[in-house]
């Protein structure tokens, strides 16, 4: 048990030292977009252990899109035109993967991908972790205007709705606060109207501005 604890502590200490090294290298900025907000250590897979070559500091905005937890903001990723020339192999690999993901719909990404040079070993690493081309694209909850919805948002009904199995009549213009996204269906959210929790189709609502 003591050996296991010592091993875990050793990994933690090594990661802390590495994180400080990476922060110094990147001047306390995300090595993809140069943001200084909410940085964390990102380990580029596949790999056998964290090193300065296969890790870098990344902001939450880049990370959430990279991991497909948020929709890709193509304008944000214009930063790749700079990060693709990084001397850090891990940054090169992630830049290549993102440009590859964007290249089917964004001409500028395809052009940069054509210009980008990776040595054979780094290119093999980039391809080893690249998303499967046949993989279904990530889907997100959106309102009738295409705005991204999040848990806790407030929305406005764009149509009067009759609630099945209830006498409740949800009027056009009704505000539904603190919505909850339906995990397995991007066309639906849940929200309370007159104290009753109901399921509402996203095509019948719009996100309320803050």
Residue 134: what pLDDT?
43
Q: Which two tokens stand for residue 81?
A: 């035109």
Order of strands, sheet of 196-201, starting from the edge strand that comes earlier in the sequence: 180-181, 188-193, 196-201
- Listed by start position, the domains of the chain span 2-128, 155-207
Tens digit of each residue's pLDDT (9 = 90 or more) over 187-209 = 888 988 888 888 888 898 889 87
The CATH architecture annotation of domain 155-207 reads: Roll (2.30)
pTM for the full predicted model = 0.65
Cα distance between residue 210 and residue 146, in whole Å: 17
pLDDT in tens, 45-86: 998 889 999 999 999 999 999 988 888 899 999 999 999 999
Distance from CA of residue 144 to its chain's centroid? 22
- pLDDT tens digits for 108-144? 999 999 999 999 999 999 998 765 444 555 677 888 8
């Amino acid at each position: 048990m003591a050996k296991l604890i010592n091993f875990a502590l050793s990994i933690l200490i090594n990661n802390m030292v590495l994180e400080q090294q990476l922060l110094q290298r990147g001047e306390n900025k995300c090595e993809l977009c140069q943001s200084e907000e909410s940085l964390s250590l990102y380990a580029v897979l596949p790999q056998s252990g964290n090193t300065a070559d296969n890790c870098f500091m990344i902001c939450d905005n880049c990370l959430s899109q990279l991991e497909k937890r948020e929709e890709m903001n193509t304008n944000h990723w214009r930063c790749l035109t700079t990060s693709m020339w990084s001397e850090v192999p891990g940054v090169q690999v992630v830049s290549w993967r993102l440009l590859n993901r964007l290249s089917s719909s964004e001409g500028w990404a395809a052009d940069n991908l054509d210009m980008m040079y990776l040595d054979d070993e780094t290119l093999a690493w980039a391809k080893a972790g690249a998303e499967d081309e046949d993989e279904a694209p990530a889907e997100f909850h959106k309102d009738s205007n295409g705005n991204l919805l999040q848990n806790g948002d407030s929305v406005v009904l764009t149509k009067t709705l009759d609630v099945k199995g209830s006498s409740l009549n949800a009027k056009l213009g009704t505000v539904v606060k603190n919505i909850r996204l339906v995990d397995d269906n991007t066309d639906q959210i849940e929200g309370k109207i007159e104290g009753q929790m109901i399921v509402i189709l996203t095509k019948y609502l719009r996100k309320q501005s803050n």
